[in-house]
Structure 1
Amino acid sequence: MSTDPHPASRPQLILIPGLLNDAGLWRDQLAGLAALADCRVADITRGESMQALADSVLADAAPTFALAGFSLGGYVAQEIARRAPQRIERLALLDTTIRPDTPARAALRRSHEQLVRLQGTFNAFGDRMLDTYLAPAHRHDEALIGRIRAMTSRLGSEVFLRQSGLVREDGAAVLQSLDCPLLIACGEQDLLTPLAAHREMAALNPRARLVVIPDSGHLAPMENPSAVTQALADWLQEPGEPCRPGVSHARQTPA
């Protein structure tokens, strides 16, 4: 986990990146939120299971902390909330999902893994996925694409295969059980984890606030960094008690 050189009187904020992402994903948020929080970026490149990743984050964390997970990092954040909800002061889930892989999605993931295992295809895989990850307006932004390619190159195929193979569990019950400030944020043009799914997530808990990030696809923290930073700043300053587990907020439908 990356460290802040200044001792923290501010709350700790743990930022969890997604698949084939590192601290570069959160570059602008790290700068923009420094006055509000002691920001740390979790390393989720080494564990062989969601449980192992969650334990590694918890081992390096303060006794209580704010937690934000992006994409795959959202699954890790859900596992942390499942294992140690009493340590979470507030939770943010960005461009992610609470649903497990469908059989079709799991099969697609396996086919991607097979492609990556073929020598020389890893970078080509990343390039082809850009149309899925980015909003149309950003698909020819060479500076942004360069940052994305640099991240995937730094992490490489072994990290991709390890992260792709992680089992994604259903997080609906976790989200329903928490009673603390919850931010659900999604790029308006996210094709990978669409806005409709985030609306469903927000509906599971009355403490949840849904923020739609304009002019963004799946990589909202990089595509519209100022809007994501503002959403996280508002969430960090939202009054509320730390997460308290054990209270179901499932909404009842009339008989």
Structure 2
Amino acid sequence: MGGESFYTTVVKNVHSTLPGDVMMAPADPGGIQLHKLTGNPDDELLLTSGAYVASDATVNIGTAVQTQWSNSLLSGTGFFLLRASGRGIVACAAYGSIHKYELREGESRSVDNGHLVAWSANLPYRVGLASRGGIMASMKSGEGLMCHFGPGPGTIYLQSHKPGEAETAVKHSKRAAKGAAQVGVAYFVLIPFILVSVVILVTVVTMLIAHLKSIEMDPTTTYYDNNNDDYYHGNKRKAASSRRTVPRGGYMAVGEL
């Protein structure tokens, strides 16, 4: 119920005279912190889901239920936690780097919800607004809710990153890289197309201008000069007896007259 498997692996050194080593790592990238339990009844450690890595055989690992629904729902830790008790070493993991805070007698500390890894079972906490200025001030701060621990003494373990936010950042970075690659490919294809289109357009315009400049009046065709209100046969003026009425509009070929 605490977010861990029902089964655990027990590692034992069968050689009484030879030392042995065991290499362990959490599923998520991050640091590991060793916490020592003294065996006192009031010395227990609560761990969030995924924080437990390993412990001595003398350490008891059980399940703890958060009775305050506001803490379980709003702190991001859930209803069920792992409870480590007894005497020995507990290894807990974090997403990113892990930080340890020892609260002295009467000391308190506020923590952003979602960054909790583990804390002393005898250390009370409540979920409240991040700012003393009220709901609007808390919303403007970008934090919203925080976990207020205290008064001490007790121990708190925090992680530098929120798992959900870190995964979102990775997805955004991958999406941005993919988008940049697609834009690069688009530019790689589009720029040559634009250059070829410009060259073709310039060539067509140049040919059209050259063609217009090379046009001469056909000597076998009669033209009407709208500007001078006169007729021409090729470049020569047409006799008035052979003229006929045509629509005005500059030079216009009217055929043989």
**Normalized against structure 1, the TM-score is what?**
0.19
Richer in strand (by share): 2
* Structure possessing the higher relative contact order (Cα contacts under 8 Å, 6 or more residues apart): 1
Richer in helix (by share): 1
**Larger C-alpha radius of gyration, 1 or 2?**
2
**Normalized against structure 2, the TM-score is what?**
0.19
